[in-house]
Every structure is written in C-alpha cells, then in structure tokens.
Amino acid sequence: MTTGIVLAAVAAILVGSTLQRLSGTGVGLVVAPVLALLLGPSLGVLVTNSTTVVSGFLIMLAVRRHIHWRRAAALLAPALLGAVPAALMVRDLDAGWLNVVIGSVVLVALGLVFGVPRVPHVRSRLLTVGTGIAGGFLNTGAGVATPAMVMYAALTRWDQRAFAATMQPTFMVLGLFSVAAKLTLGATAPAQLPPWWFFLVIVATVVVGIRVGTRLSRSVSLGAARRVAIALAGLGGAVTVVRGVLMLA
C-alpha cells in the first residue's frame, strides 16, 4: 500500500465522516467509489464497510437520544437475507462489473438522497422487511445502503433528525454484517486485507472527521454540505463506472 493510496483514502474517509456527522449520510457515498478505485472493488467496499462501523458507532454516541432503536432493529433483522447473496455476488462477479455496480449505485443514491420525488405515505411491516433486505444487499455489494434507507424514510415520512440518528447504529451493524459475510463466504480473503495499522488510521481519521463535522455544524448549512457530497460522490461514482466499462471492453 503506497503513501499516495493511503493519503487519498484518508482524504476520502475524512470528507465522508465529516458529511456523515453533518447530515447523517456520507461515508458510503464518498468513500466507496474512491476506495473501489484505489484498492479494487471487492477490497474497497470491505474497507468502506469497516469505516461505516467506526463512524456509525462514534456518531451514534453523540446522537443516541434521538435514535429510534426499535425501528433500527426492525430494519436490521432481515438485513442478513440481503448481505449473504451480495457477498456471493462480490465473490463471483468480474471486477469490471463490480466497478460498474458500485459506481451506478452511488449515482442512483445521489439522485434519491438529493432529489427524492414526492411519494405516497406508506407504512407496513413488509416495507420495513424489504428495506432491510435491500439495505443489506446494497451495503455488502456496493458499500452504499443509502438508496434503500432514504426511500424508506420518504415513504414513511420519517422525521429527518430521528432518521439521521437512527441510521448510525443501522449503518454500523450493516457494516458488521457485510464484513462478516464477505470474509466467511470467501468474497475477500484475509490475506487480501490491508495491514493492521491502516485500520488504526481509519479510526483516527473518522474521529477527526466527526470533530470537524461537529464544529462545522454550527456554521455550515446542510445545503452546502450536500453540494460538496454531490460533487465528490458524483465524480467518484462516474469515474468508477467508466473504469469498470473500460475493464470490460
């Protein structure tokens, strides 16, 4: 792992963690396409999942009073049903196709997060189960569970503050599911993992990103944070798709 790769990864994780603290989402959108380009799609998504475990846990501590714990549990209970087939997909799919999938999911997520259309009010147990399965699949396969969660929030008219808070333990546990599924099913071999010290770098970077996000929350509007996320994640997603297409050509 070269110094350039480490620095680029740190920059992506720092920005993603800052945006996560500001708006409740951001790590997967920004980090997944960047790490897929730097480390390859399979390992890049696994490291993204590891990052969401750390960021979700730390931000959860700060916003725990606003978390809807029963709702988080209801979303997480069926998530393994999506994580397992996604891990098998990551194991068996060509790297070029994985890049296309990851980049496409990020671009779709941007459209949903920042341009959710007016949708009917729906609240049912089946919707919750389906969202959990979709979130587990997307998080394991592409490192981005945001599309499923944002649409669920829109359909159920979930309050933004409670939604953003509840996503932190949700993303944390989804990340754990994803890492466990991929290591257990052989989608990523332990020998492929980055050196141990890189995970310490991830923890330190997330801590710094959260502190920066906390400070910026007093002066930076949510709209400004979203514009930064759109620019960075959109660029990363587009480049990842192009790279995948070129690999398949």
Separation between Cα atoms, residue 192 and residue 64, nearest integer Å: 35
Ordered by start, the domain boundaries in the chain are 3-248
Residue 26 has φ and ψ, to the nearest 5°, of 150, -35
Please state the rounded mean pLDDT for residues 84-95: 92
| pLDDT one-digit tens code per residue, 118-158 | 777 888 899 999 999 999 999 999 888 888 888 888 889 88
- 235 band by pLDDT with thresholds 50, 70 and 90: confident
Helices and strands in the chain: count of H runs, count of E runs? 11, 0
Q: Report the candidate in 30, 8, 44, 38 with the shortest Cα–Cα distance to residue 182.
A: 44
* Per-residue pLDDT at 117: 62
Span 105-123, average pLDDT:
74
Question: Does position 85 have pLDDT exceeding 90, yes or no?
Answer: yes
Higher per-residue pLDDT: 176 or 220: 176
* Euclidean distance between CA atoms 114 and 110, whole angstroms: 6
Question: Does 82 have pLDDT greater than 90?
Answer: yes
Residue 58 has pLDDT above 90, yes or no: yes
Neighbours of 49 (CB within 10 A): 29
Whether the per-residue pLDDT at 116 is higher than 70: the answer is no
161: pLDDT confidence band, cut at 50, 70 and 90?
Answer: confident
